[in-house]
Amino acid sequence: MEKSNDSSEYGFILVGFSDHPKLEMVLFIVNFTLYAVTVLGNLTIILLCILDPRLHTPMYFFLVNLSFLDLCFSTSCIPQMLVNLWGPDKTISYAGCVVQLFSFLSIGGIECILLAVMAYDRYVVVCKPLHYIAIMHSQLCLQLVAMAWGSGLVNAIVMSPLTMTLSRCGRRVNHFLCEMPVLIKMACLDARAVEMLAFAFAILIVLLPFTLILVSYGYTAAAVLGIKSDAVRWKAFSTSSSHLTVVSLFYGSIIYVYMQPGNSSSQNQGKFFTLFYNLVTPMLNPLIYTLRNKEVKGALKKVLGMQ
């Protein structure tokens, strides 16, 4: 295949699911429905946490950030995918591709670290309940969120230009969005240096926070099992299990995509795993926190005038 550098002028062709044309309309309907639920659910969480004073706590401050990130995460690529599924045009502009790549790297990185921050919050509330207010003060919460946002943005600022400046063979992206692993595979020249740097960032932003989450939940589980009151133990388990479910869904799919060797999984598997953490997980997060959380359900009933 000949070397092609005209992508900056003509953009890219997102192959997506065009190799299964009969499946495209089904995917359009399913993904449009899931995206609508994602937008509605995350906006509801954000509004509830803002409007109800009872939810002005560190846990819900982090939850608002998570919902905002989920909203941006899905919006960065799902509308473009719906356009490509609807008709024969599968193109995306060069600028659009850059925006998708930067959004994925930054928001994905921020969310990985934010989930670790939320795990630390659950650890403090369960293991050090008497000191919770003193430890999780507003200044620390802002600093932790700023650290998450800063780390994700650094990841995107470094990796986006390196990925986009690679010489590519052709304009066909075998995906439904401009994702870093796929764009690196399109390089005509040896891109091992970029792959190694991407893997190093993945260790720092994906694997390290995930390890810290597992450690914190080890201590949290031990503390929950030591609680004598059944009511208190159930409340601690309920709030912690909601977050652990979100972590499992998000990290399980993102580790599969970003922490494996380049050719170890099929391309179709990669597409569906990306679709899972980009759409299904953001759609499920509000449901998980709403259905398993009495405070959020109470705030929702109050806003709807049901109490």
* Beta carbons within 10 angstroms of residue 113's beta carbon: 24
Q: Is the pLDDT of residue 3 over 50?
A: no
At 58 the pLDDT is 92
Question: Over pLDDT 70: what percentage of the chain?
Answer: 89
Going across the sheet that includes 12-14, the strands are: 91-92, 12-14, 172-173
Percent of the chain scored above 90 by pLDDT? Answer: 33
Interval 35-63: pLDDT, tens: 999 999 999 999 988 988 888 899 899 99
Q: How far apart are CA 43 and CA 67, in angstroms?
A: 7
Q: Which residues, including other chains, have CB under 8 Å from residue 230's CB and lie 6 or more apart?
A: none
- Please give the average per-residue pLDDT across 156-175, as a whole number: 89
Q: Which of 115, 82, 79 is nearest to 100 (CA)?
A: 79
- Write out the two tokens for 96: 């659009």
Residue 242 amino acid letter? S
Taking 60 as the threshold, does the pLDDT of residue 261 lie above it?
A: no
For residue 143, the model assigns a pLDDT of 96
Q: Strands 12-14 and 91-92, how do they pair?
A: antiparallel
Domain boundaries in the chain? 12-304
Q: What share of the chain is helix, strand, coil (3-state, %, to 5)?
A: 75, 5, 20
Is 105:155 a contact under the CB 8 Å cutoff?
Answer: yes
At the second CATH level, the architecture of 12-304 is Up-down Bundle (1.20)
